[in-house]
Structure 1
Amino acid sequence: MTTILVVNSGSSSFKYQLIDVEEEHTLASGLVERIGEASGHSSHRAGDESFARELPIPDHTAGFRVMLDAFAEHGPSLETNPPVAVGHRVVHGGKRFFEPTLITPLVEINIEDLSELAPLHNPGALQGIRAAGEAFAHVPHVAIFDTAFHQTLAPDAYTYAIDPALAEKYRIRRYGFHGTSHKYVSEQAAHFLGRPLGELNQIVLHLGNGASVCAISGGRSVDTSMGMTPLEGLVMGTRSGDIDPAVLFHLHRRTGATTDDLDELLNKHSGMLGMTGHLDMRDVHSAAEAGDEAAQLALDVYSHRLKHYIGAYLAELGRVDVISFTAGVGENAAFVRAGALSGLEALGIRLDTERNEARSREARRISTDDSPVAVLVVPTDEELEIARQTLAVVRAA
C-alpha cells in the first residue's frame, strides 16, 4: 500500500486525508478547527465510523498532535500505513510555481513572500507546512498550487490593460484558481469519453461556494474566470464576481467606505448571500419557487454570468468537445446546469432533461446522444489529485 497524507491548511483549521494512491481510496479523513480559540474541535473518520473531540488547540503544531492521536486511537495505524509523503494545498504560487514542488526552506520563503497576493490563504498554508514538517520530519513534503495549472495561459489572456511597469512591480496579472480541480475534471472527462486528453477542447465549470470556469485545450488551461484573486469572474456564494471597478470609487465617495470595508463587501457580503440573504443554493432555489422575486433574479443573474463565460470560451476555443460541471453546486443543482445551457442548442449544446434531473455520485453524461458537444457531470476530487501529483514528485526525485 502506498499512502499519501493530503493537508489543506487555513489560518485556524486544517483538513486532512490519508489516501491509498495505488487503489485511489481514502483510508481516513478529518478536520481540526478553531485553532487558537478557547475550545478547539477535531473530527476523524475512518471507514464508516466518525469520532470527535473538543479540547484546546493553541496552534497548528498542537493540531497535528491531535490528528496523530486520532490515527493512533481510531486508525488506520500510521505505523502500519506510514505516508510516503505529505501533499499540501497552497492557494497562490504566483508566476514562480508552475508545477508540484518539493518543499524546501527556499520554497517556504517564496510561499511567505506570495502571501501579499493571498493574505487569507498562504499564511495558513505555511503554518500547516511547518507543523506537518515537525510531525512528519522524515518524509518529503510537496506543495500543490491552485494557480499552477493556469501558468499555461498566454500573455494576452493573463495581462490586464494597465501600465506594464506598475503591473510588473506589484505582480498584477491573471493567475486563476481551482487549478487542481480543473485539471482533475478535464482528465476524468477525457477518460469517461474514451478519448485522448490531447485532442479535446473543454470547458470546465467548478461551481461551489467559490466558482470558476476554465477553457482547456489539449489538457492545457488557455483561459479562466478568476483573476489576480478569486474575486473576479462568476457570481459566487458570497463574492460578487465581475463588477465595474468604478463602483468601488463611487461607494467610497458616497459612503466613505474604506478599502477594507469594500474588500469585506465584495468578498463576504455579495454574491448569492448579498442578493438574497441565502448562502446555500438550495435555499435560494426554494425561495424562488415560493415566489421570492429577489431570489429568482439572483438565479437569473447567476445563470447569465455562466452563459456569458461559456459563450466567451466557445468563441475563444473555436470548437468545444465537452462541457463539464463539477463541485457542490455543479454536481447537484440540475436547475443551475439547465439555466446555464438553455438557449444554446444552436451552438451544439443539447441537454437531456431526464438525464440532467437524475442524481448520481458517478460521472455521467447529461446531454442527448446526438448533441455535438458532450455535457457531463464529473465529481471532483482535489485531494486525490494532490495525492497523485505528490507521488509523481516523490518518484521523480
Structure 2
Amino acid sequence: MTGTATRVLVLNSGSSSVKYQLLDMRDSSRMAVGLVERIGEATSRLVHTPLAGGGERRERTGAIADHSAALKAVADELARDGLGLDSPELAAIGHRVVHGGLRFTEPTVITDEVMAEIERLVPVAPLHNPANITGIRTAQALRPDLPQVAVFDTAFHTTMPESAARYAIDVETADAHRIRRYGFHGTSHAYVSRATAALLGRDPSEVNVIVLHLGNGASASAVAGGRCVDTSMGLTPLEGLVMGTRSGDVDPAVTFHLMRVAGMSADEIDVLLNKKSGLVGLCGDNDMREIRRRVDAGDERAKLAFDIYVHRLRKYIGAYYAVLGRVDAVAFTAGVGENAAPVREAAIAGLEQLGLAVDAGLNAVRSDEARLISPQGARVAVAVVPTDEELEIARQTFELVQ
C-alpha cells in the first residue's frame, strides 16, 4: 500500500446478496454505495449510486449467477465511475464476517489460516459465515494482491467476563461444542458507544453506555469505558430482546415441550423461533411503523405486541444498569431505535428514579444527526445515535493496513 492509497471497499456478503460501499478515509466520505440482491435468480437486481461527483443512481436487472458474477458486476459499475478495483488508490477491502469465535478479537488480515478458522466456525453461524466466506474468496480472486481484512460482528463482545459469557451448563460439553455467549451487532455497538461518548464531549474510556440496537434484529449491550461487559445475544442472534421475527428469550424447555406435545422437529422449532416469532408472531407485522398505526387505531393484538417488545427492552435497561453500576447514557440506534419515537418514550417511561427521562419535544424531532433527547440537566443522558457499521468496518480496516 502506498501513501496515496486511501480508499476502502466494504463488502457485506449475504446468502443471496452483496451490499457494498466505497469510502475515502481521508475524510470518511462515501464515493459509491450499492446492493446486489437475489443472486442466483433470474430476477437478480443491482442498484449502484456513485456519490463522488454527483453521479446518478443506476439499476440493472437480469440473472446474476453467483457471488463471483455479482462482484464482477460491482467492479464494472465502479469502473464506469473511474473508481475501479484496479485503482492504486484502493488500500484494502474490508469484509463483514458475522462470527469470529473467541480467537478473533479485532480486525484481522485474511490469510489461509484465518479462512480455515472462519470455516471451522460455520457450525455456530450456518446462515452467515458461509456467505461471508464466499464474498472473501471472490474478492481475493479479483484482487489477490490487495489486503483483505475481516471485521467480526462478535469481536467487540470478546471483552465480556466469563461470568457474563458462560452458560451454566456442563463445562466439558460447552467447551467441546463451543457453546457460550458470543453476541452480535458488535461493529454497531462499538461505533455507537464511541459516538455517544463524543456526543457527551468525553473520552470513551470515561463513559458507561447502554446501547440499544433496535432493527429487525435487536440487541442490547452494556459498555463500560469502551469495553463490552455484557450483551443480549448469545450463542446465536436468537437470544435477548424481542425482534421482528425472532422470539428473543424463551424458556429452553419450550423446545422440548414442542417436540413432545406438538410433535415438531428441531428444524421446525428453529424456523418457528427465528422466522415466525417476535413481533410477526405476536401480531402478524414486523414493521414498527405499521404496528404503531394499528395501535393508534385501537388494535389490541398490535398493542400487546408493542407492550411485550417494550417490556423486554425495559428489563434489559434495568439489568444493564445493575451490571454497570453507573450509567452515563442510554443510546438508541438502528432502524427502530433511530426512527420510532414511541418506542424510545415507552422504553424510558417510569425509569425516572434511575435518572432516566425523555423530553417529548426533543424525542419527536426527526434528524439524521446524533442528538440528546433527555431533558437538560438529566442525570443520565438519553441519546439517538445513528449507527454506521460500514464506516466502522472501513475505519478498522484502514487503521490495520496502515
TM band (smaller chain):
over 0.9
SS at match of 1:324: strand
1:130 aligned residue:
137
Q: CA deviation at 1:39?
A: 3.3
Q: CA deviation at 1:72?
A: 1.9
User: Which residue of 16, 21, 35 corresponds with 2:20?
Assistant: 16
Asked if the contact 1:3/1:81 (under 8 Å) is kept, the reply is no
Matched, 1:263 2:270: yes
2:345 aligned residue:
338
Q: Scaled by the length of structure 2, what TM-score is found?
A: 0.96
Asked if the contact 2:47/2:59 (under 8 Å) is kept, the reply is yes
SS at match of 1:98: coil
Matched, 1:282 2:289: yes
User: Which residue of 46, 65, 69 corresponds with 1:42?
Assistant: 46
SS at match of 2:57: strand
1:7 maps to amino acid: L
User: Which residue of 305, 324, 327 corresponds with 1:320?
Assistant: 327
Label 1:80 to 1:124 Cα distance change in 2 as closer, same or farther (>3 A). closer
**81-90 or 148-157, larger mean C-alpha shift:** 81-90
Asked if the contact 1:366/1:376 (under 8 Å) is kept, the reply is yes
Deviations 1:178-212 (Å, cap 9, x if unpaired)? 11000001111111111111111110000000000
1:225 aligned residue:
232
Q: CA deviation at 1:301?
A: 0.4
Measure the CA separation in 1 of the matches of 2:314 and 2:235. 22
Q: CA deviation at 1:96?
A: 1.3
1:250 maps to amino acid: H
Asked if the contact 1:21/1:384 (under 8 Å) is kept, the reply is no
Asked if the contact 1:46/1:76 (under 8 Å) is kept, the reply is no
Matched, 1:25 2:21: no
Measure the CA separation in 2 of the matches of 1:313 and 1:335. 22
**133-142 or 336-345, larger mean C-alpha shift:** 133-142
SS at match of 1:130: helix
1:335 maps to amino acid: P
1:3 aligned residue:
7
CA-based RMSD: 1.1
User: Which residue of 373, 380, 383 corresponds with 2:387?
Assistant: 380
Measure the CA separation in 2 of the matches of 1:132 and 1:10. 14
2:119 aligned residue:
112
Deviations 1:228-272 (Å, cap 9, x if unpaired)? 000000000000000011111111112111000000000001111
Aligned residues with identical type, % of pairs: 57
1:350 maps to amino acid: A
1:195 aligned residue:
202
1:107 maps to amino acid: V
2:45 maps to amino acid: H
Measure the CA separation in 1 of the matches of 2:64 and 2:352. 54
1:246 maps to amino acid: A
Asked if the contact 2:338/2:386 (under 8 Å) is kept, the reply is yes
| Contiguous gaps of at least 5 residues in structure 1 | none
Measure the CA separation in 2 of the matches of 1:55 and 1:72. 20
Q: CA deviation at 1:117?
A: 0.4
Measure the CA separation in 1 of the matches of 2:25 and 2:325. 37
Matched length: 395
Asked if the contact 2:76/2:84 (under 8 Å) is kept, the reply is no
2:187 aligned residue:
180
Measure the CA separation in 2 of the matches of 1:371 and 1:279. 33
1:13 maps to amino acid: S
Matched, 1:390 2:397: yes
Q: CA deviation at 1:324?
A: 0.4
SS at match of 2:93: strand
SS at match of 1:295: helix
Deviations 1:82-113 (Å, cap 9, x if unpaired)? 42100000000111111100000111111111
Matched, 1:236 2:248: no
1:360 aligned residue:
367
Measure the CA separation in 1 of the matches of 2:252 and 2:97. 28
SS at match of 2:312: helix
Q: CA deviation at 1:55?
A: 2.3
Q: CA deviation at 1:75?
A: 4.7
Deviations 1:299-337 (Å, cap 9, x if unpaired)? 100000000000001111111001100000000000000
Asked if the contact 1:115/1:122 (under 8 Å) is kept, the reply is yes
Label 1:344 to 1:81 Cα distance change in 2 as closer, same or farther (>3 A). farther
Label 1:32 to 1:82 Cα distance change in 2 as closer, same or farther (>3 A). farther
Asked if the contact 2:79/2:85 (under 8 Å) is kept, the reply is yes
User: Which residue of 73, 80, 88 corresponds with 1:73?
Assistant: 80
1:172 maps to amino acid: I
Measure the CA separation in 2 of the matches of 1:80 and 1:95. 35
Matched, 1:154 2:161: yes
Q: CA deviation at 1:159?
A: 0.5
Q: CA deviation at 1:370?
A: 1.8
Measure the CA separation in 2 of the matches of 1:246 and 1:214. 26
Measure the CA separation in 1 of the matches of 2:107 and 2:277. 33
2:34 maps to amino acid: G
| Contiguous gaps of at least 5 residues in structure 2 | none
